[in-house]
């Protein structure tokens, strides 16, 4: 009898031991498979002549870093294709062949220029990527503006209608010799779109790509709330009053064009980089224009076009196209589209 009890006792120990091992294995597997808490990961680099920041929400540091690096690689590619000042870029090649021959380009450049021309049509030429023949006459670092005679000569080379896009052959042709495409008013927004596309392919479901004043947001922050984006005071004197308003943003792009980004003063006149394609002089009527759209490429291009159009015409175009925006006119008055009212939280009035 004692021997039988001993055997049963030993068998029970084995069963309990196996059961305990099974439970431990189950708990280990459960803990290993349970998702980590989502965290924000961020990296910044200098690209496209400005600081670029990519922020992602992920439960894995390795996954986040891989996705961010892939997004930066995509933006570096866009920069290499569109850099006006790089001799080997496709934009430079198009410009060198102006009035001579069509240039074979990548799908990215073909797409970006096609969208730029559509924005030109919708803004009656207020946005024009052929403004390069005029922008090169200004030097904002050395505070140099062009002579009027030179300006008048070069303004004749600015006309988006002289850009011939052959989609079947993937070529771009500028009709007049001396024409210059300057993609500075659209390339950042386009690059942000492409970067977000890469992040999503990498499995990222929430993030933010910031290229100076061009921002593309998708998903939400780890706390489940939308991203909060600041609108800069165009006459802010220090960092404390730099942000005058904020608004929530999710699955949208936002872009701001302002006369404070690159400018110099001569005899009280503000010469800034947002030029009117019809005159070649800095556009008047606005201090800044902020536009939101589904695509960064359109937010980027339209903020420039609306700035050139001015508050009245610009607001009509935004409402017609159903884009939301905020315009701060030359007197500091804020104008809102109907869809933007109630979204913007004013921190400080424009001074």
- How high is the pLDDT of residue 116? 98
Per the DSSP assignment, residues forming a β-bridge with 46 are 51
User: Is the distance from CB of 256 to CB of 249 less than 8 angstroms?
Assistant: no
Per the DSSP assignment, residues forming a β-bridge with 45 are 52
- How high is the pLDDT of residue 347? 83
Tokens 């969208």, located at residue: 115
> What's domain 95-180's architecture?
Orthogonal Bundle (1.10)
Please give the model's pTM, rounded to 2 decimal places. Answer: 0.88
- How high is the pLDDT of residue 26? 33
- How high is the pLDDT of residue 227? 97
- Give span(s): CATH 1.10.3980.10, the chain: 95-180
The length of the chain is 351
- How high is the pLDDT of residue 37? 77
- How high is the pLDDT of residue 270? 93
- How high is the pLDDT of residue 246? 94
* Cα 297 → chain centroid: 7
On whether the 226-351 domain is CATH 3.10.520.10, my answer is yes
- Give span(s): CATH 3.10.520.10, the chain: 37-84+182-220, 226-351
CATH code for the domain defined by 37-84+182-220: 3.10.520.10
User: Is the distance from CB of 174 to CB of 99 less than 8 angstroms?
Assistant: yes
Kind of pairing between the strands at 286-293 and 207-211: unpaired
Tokens 């790509």, located at residue: 209
- How high is the pLDDT of residue 15? 40
What averages of pLDDT result for each successive group of 10 residues across the chain (351 residues)?
Answer: 42 42 34 61 97 97 97 98 97 98 98 98 98 96 94 97 98 98 97 98 98 96 94 78 89 96 91 96 97 98 98 96 96 94 84 62
């Amino acid at each position: 009898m004692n021997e039988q009890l001993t055997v049963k006792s030993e068998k029970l120990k084995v069963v309990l031991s196996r059961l305990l091992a099974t439970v431990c294995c189950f708990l280990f597997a459960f803990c290993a498979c349970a998702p980590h808490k989502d965290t924000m990961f961020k990296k910044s680099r200098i690209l496209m002549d400005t600081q670029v920041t990519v922020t992602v929400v992920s439960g894995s540091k390795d996954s986040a870093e891989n996705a961010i690096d892939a997004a930066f690689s995509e933006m570096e590619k866009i920069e290499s294709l569109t850099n006006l000042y790089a001799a080997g870029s496709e934009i430079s090649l198009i410009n060198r062949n102006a009035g001579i021959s069509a240039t074979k380009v990548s799908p990215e450049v073909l797409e970006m220029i096609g969208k730029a021309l559509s924005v030109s049509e919708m803004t009656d030429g207020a946005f024009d990527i052929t403004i390069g023949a005029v922008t090169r006459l200004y030097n904002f670092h050395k505070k140099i503006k062009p002579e009027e005679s030179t300006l008048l000569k070069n303004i004749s080379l600015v006309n988006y209608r002289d850009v011939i896009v052959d989609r079947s052959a993937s070529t771009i042709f500028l009709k007049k010799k001396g024409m210059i495409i300057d993609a500075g008013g659209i390339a950042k927004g386009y690059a942000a779109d492409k970067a977000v596309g890469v992040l999503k392919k990498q499995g990222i479901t929430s993030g933010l790509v910031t290229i100076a004043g061009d921002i593309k947001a998708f998903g939400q922050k780890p706390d489940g709330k939308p991203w909060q984006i600041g609108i800069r005071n165009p006459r802010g004197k220090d960092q404390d009053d730099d942000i005058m308003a904020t608004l929530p943003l999710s699955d949208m792009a936002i872009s701001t064009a302002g006369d404070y980004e690159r400018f110099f003063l001569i005899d009280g006149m503000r010469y800034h980089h947002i030029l009117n394609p019809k005159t070649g002089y800095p556009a008047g009527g606005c201090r800044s224009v902020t536009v939101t759209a589904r695509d960064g490429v359109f937010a980027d291009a339209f903020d420039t076009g609306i700035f050139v159009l001015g508050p009245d015409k610009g607001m009509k175009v935004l409402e017609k196209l159903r884009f939301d925006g905020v315009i701060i006119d030359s007197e500091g008055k804020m104008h809102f589209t109907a869809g933007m009212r109630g979204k913007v939280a004013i921190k400080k009035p424009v001074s």
